[in-house]
Amino acid sequence: MILVTGGAGFIGANFVLDWLAQSNETVVNLDVLTYAGNRENLATLDGDPRHIFVQGDIGDSAVLADLLTRHQPRAIINFAAESHVDRSIHGPEDFIQTNIVGTFRLLEAVRDYWGKLHGDAKQDFRFLHISTDEVYGSLAKDEPAFTENHRYQPNSPYSASKAASDHLVRAYHHTYGLPVLTTNCSNNYGPYHFPEKLIPLMIVNALAGKPLPVYGDGRQIRDWLYVKDHCSAIRRVLEAGSVGEIYNIGGWNEKPNIDIVHTVCALLDELSARLDGHSYREQIVYVTDRPGHDRRYAIDASKLERELGWKPAETFDTGIRKTVQWYLQNQSWVANVQSGAYRAWVEKNYSGRSA
């Protein structure tokens, strides 16, 4: 049995679905179900005895102690996090509470649980912490991509809180011997992605006939990783990663944001054309950039390939086509996640930005 935290969110839900598609090992799934945690992501697992869902917070020490005692997991994969830069700018406290305090309380509960294990159960136990490339800061256009030895230079409340959580995980390994693994991934995309992030926002707005807001000049560069490739990398790190090590996970797909938007528009023109015959590109609007917007992230994932034999299965072209097709085929999911709270957030974040 494994315990997954944040397993109703975008990456966590994809991981749980992929895990149970390939294994009969039970997953205990702990998620507090904030705006981005959605039980509908896991609807295909309803009634599946291999999936035990628990609504709860990683910051709740009593809930954690009970789950660990009752289920005795052999591994914990920690996806639970607040994870949106814009939201962290508007309200950083939630990010401090979840990403720093929550991770601390989770580590404390796990340290107590692991300390009571014996023999092979203690030797084989793993705590896998999922983090982000944003902890490394921003790169100039011609700088080498981030490696696992890159200095931490977080530039937003979100990335600073994730950097702090990474440091706590490292400290619990070096101080207490807790058998940890950490992964730092690049920008994910794919099914079940909440439509506040770039790719799903462009798809949803385009189909609704709304403006496609692009920050600044749109030339910010990101490395893009298809979420199912990310899940396969996590499984590989859990299976064979060396205790205490960090592994960067990337898609080898550096692209400017505006190129991503153009690609999405071209695919929608092909797969779900506008009734007036015009291109969705006509809906693009450049808006005021967000404060402190990092210009470039790039992941060097060669360590993961060299040591554990992993590399992504999808190119950006294949992954983005699958993603657009998924959103076109799952319009009811899209409609259901766009609650009043989501609409209020979009209005708050974008209405004040001049075009």
Under a CB-based contact definition with an 8 Å cutoff, are residues 221 and 253 in contact? no
Q: Which pLDDT belongs to residue 353? A: 58
Kindly state the average pLDDT of the residues 98-117: 97
Kindly state the average pLDDT of the residues 275-280: 97
Q: Which pLDDT belongs to residue 319? A: 98
- Kindly report the backbone phi and psi dihedral angles of residue 181, in degrees, each rounded to the nearest multiple of 5, phi listed first: -140, 145
Kindly state the average pLDDT of the residues 196-209: 94
If you write DSSP's letter for every residue of 180-237 in order, what string do you get?
A: EEEEEE-EEESTT--TTSHHHHHHHHHHTT--EEEETTS--EEEEEEHHHHHHHHHHH
Q: Which pLDDT belongs to residue 310? A: 98
Mean pLDDT is lowest, of 79-88, 165-174, 318-327, for 79-88
Residue 347 pLDDT > 80:
no
Residue 351 pLDDT > 70:
no
Kindly state the average pLDDT of the residues 160-180: 98
- Assign 52 to helix, strand or coil: strand
Average pLDDT in the chain: 93
Kindly state the average pLDDT of the residues 315-340: 91
- Assign 323 to helix, strand or coil: helix
Q: Which CATH class is domain 2-189+225-252+296-314?
A: alpha beta
Share of the chain above pLDDT 70, in %: 95
Kindly state the average pLDDT of the residues 117-132: 98
d(CA 126, CA 178): 8
Kindly state the average pLDDT of the residues 20-39: 91
d(CA 2, CA 51): 10
Q: Which pLDDT belongs to residue 342? A: 53
User: CB within 8 A of 162, min separation 6: which ones?
Assistant: 81, 99, 131, 132, 134, 135, 154
- Burial class of residue 147 in the structure, from the number of CB atoms within 10 Å of its CB (0-12 exposed, 13-18 middle, 19+ buried): middle
Find how far residue 314's CA is from the centre of its chain: 17
- Active site residue: 113, 158, 192, 327, which one? 158
d(CA 162, CA 149): 16
User: For residue 47, what is the DSSP state?
Assistant: T
Neighbours of 335 (CB within 10 A): 10
Q: Which pLDDT belongs to residue 9? A: 94
Q: Which pLDDT belongs to residue 340? A: 52
- pLDDT-based confidence at 354, cuts 50/70/90? low
Residue 339 pLDDT > 90:
no
- Active site residue: 31, 134, 223, 254, which one? 134
Known catalytic membership, residue 108: no
Residue 144 pLDDT > 60:
yes
- Alpha carbon of 53 to those of 39, 114, 158, 324: distances in Å? 9, 22, 27, 29
Known catalytic membership, residue 134: yes
Q: Which pLDDT belongs to residue 243? A: 98
Under a CB-based contact definition with an 8 Å cutoff, are residues 97 and 24 in contact? no
H/E run at residue 327: helix 316-329
What size, in residues, is the chain?
355
d(CA 188, CA 212): 20
Known catalytic membership, residue 133: yes
The domain spans of the chain are: 2-189+225-252+296-314
Kindly state the average pLDDT of the residues 161-176: 98
Q: Which pLDDT belongs to residue 352? A: 61
Kindly state the average pLDDT of the residues 55-78: 97
- pLDDT-based confidence at 283, cuts 50/70/90? very high
- Alpha carbon of 261 to those of 28, 46, 151, 172, 284: distances in Å? 37, 35, 31, 41, 8
Share of the chain above pLDDT 90, in %: 85
Residue 49 pLDDT > 90:
yes
pTM of the model: 0.94
Under a CB-based contact definition with an 8 Å cutoff, are residues 130 and 77 in contact? yes
pLDDT tens readout for residues 219-249? 999 999 999 999 999 999 999 999 999 999 9
Beta pairing class for 284-287 and 180-185:
unpaired
Neighbours of 130 (CB within 10 A): 27
Phi-psi domain of 247 (left: phi exceeds 0; alpha: psi -120 through 50; beta: other): beta
Across the chain, the runs of DSSP E, i.e. the strands, are 2-5, 27-31, 51-55, 75-78, 126-132, 180-185, 187-189, 212-215, 221-226, 246-249, 254-256, 284-287
- Active site residue: 31, 82, 86, 133, which one? 133
Q: Which pLDDT belongs to residue 291? A: 83
d(CA 309, CA 318): 21
Q: Which pLDDT belongs to residue 295? A: 92
Which of 234, 90, 248, 252 minimizes the C-alpha distance to 166? 248
